[in-house]
Amino acid sequence: MVFADEPTGALDSKNGREVLGLLRGIADDPARSVVMVTHDLEAASMADRVLVLKDGRVLRELGRSTPAEILEALEEAR
């Protein structure tokens, strides 16, 4: 299991895409998992499952989603 807290936060877009590609490759192996925390909608859209949290509680759970769908869920959680 890989835990990634804002893995692209301090990277330029090219290197950020490369890191996300590596994480996606790890997650595609059924024997491995990646847990990523991010505010980046593009990064979140690469996930198989997206949890929207507020005050430590899960407010929404989405499957594979577009950045627009994730943004909508975030706005509903406000």
- Residue pLDDT, tens place only, 19-43: 999 999 999 999 999 999 999 999 9
Task: Give Cα separations from 9 to 23, 35, 53, 56, 61 (angstroms).
Answer: 14, 15, 19, 21, 23
On average, the pLDDT of the chain sits at: 96
2-77 topology per CATH: Rossmann fold (3.40.50)
Q: Is-above-0.85 flag for pTM?
A: yes
Report the alpha-carbon distance of residue 31 to residue 38 in Å, rounded: 23
Under the banding of pLDDT at 50, 70 and 90, the label for residue 50 is: very high
**What sign for the dihedral angle of Cα 35, 6, 52, 25?**
negative
Helix (H) or strand (E) holding 22, with range, is helix 13-27
pLDDT at residue 32 in the model: 97
